[in-house]
Amino acid sequence: MHRQDCPCRTVGWLVRDTDRVPGTEDRTITEFIKTSRFEEAAEGALTQNTRFQVYTERHLDRIKPLQKLDAEQRFAMQVVSRVLPFRVNQYVIDELIDWDRVPEDPIFQLTFPQQGMLAPEDFTAMADALRSDAEPAAITRLAREIQARLNPHPAGQQEMNVPVLDGEPLPGMQHKYRETVLFFPSQGQVCHSYCTFCFRWAQFVGDKELRFASNEAEQLHAYLRQDARISDLLLTGGDPMVMRTRHLEGYLEPMLQDSLAHVQTIRIGTKSLTFWPQRYVTDPDADDLLRLFEKLVEGGRHVAIMAHFNHWQEMETPIVREALRRLRDTGVVIRTQAPLIRHINNDPAVWARMWRTQVRLGLVPYYLFVERDTGAKRYFEVPLARAYEVYQQAIQQVSGLARTVRGPSMSAGPGKVEIQGVTEINGEKVFVLRFIQGRNPDWVQRPFFARYDDQATWLDGLEPALGEPRFFYSDEYDAMCAEALPSAH
Q: Give 273's pLDDT tier (boundaries 50, 70, 90).
A: very high
Residue 38 has pLDDT above 80, yes or no: no
Q: Where are the domains of the chain?
A: 3-46, 54-148
Mean pLDDT, the chain, whole residue set: 90
pLDDT of residue 487: 46
pLDDT of residue 416: 97
The torsion defined by the Cα of 443, 445, 450 and 453, in degrees rounded to 10, comes to 120
Residue 43 has pLDDT above 80, yes or no: no
pLDDT of residue 156: 60
The tens digit of pLDDT for each residue in 161-184 reads: 899 999 999 988 999 999 999 999
The tens digit of pLDDT for each residue in 220-246 reads: 999 999 999 999 999 998 999 999 999
Alpha helices in 314-412 (DSSP H): 318-329, 348-360, 377-380, 384-395
Residue 22 has pLDDT above 50, yes or no: no
- Using an 8 Å Cβ cutoff, are 116 and 80 in contact? no
pLDDT of residue 199: 81
pLDDT of residue 40: 56
pLDDT of residue 204: 79
pLDDT of residue 151: 86
Residue 126 has pLDDT above 70, yes or no: yes
Cβ neighbours of residue 199 under 8 Å, at least 6 residues apart? 154, 371, 372, 374, 375
pTM of the predicted structure, to 2 decimals: 0.89
pLDDT of residue 102: 96
The tens digit of pLDDT for each residue in 379-389 reads: 999 999 999 99
pLDDT of residue 203: 78
The tens digit of pLDDT for each residue in 375-418 reads: 999 999 999 999 999 999 999 999 999 999 999 999 999 999 99
pLDDT of residue 485: 73
Specify burial of residue 50 (Cβ count, 10 A radius: 0-12, 13-18, 19+): middle
Residue that wins the pLDDT comparison between 205 and 435: 435
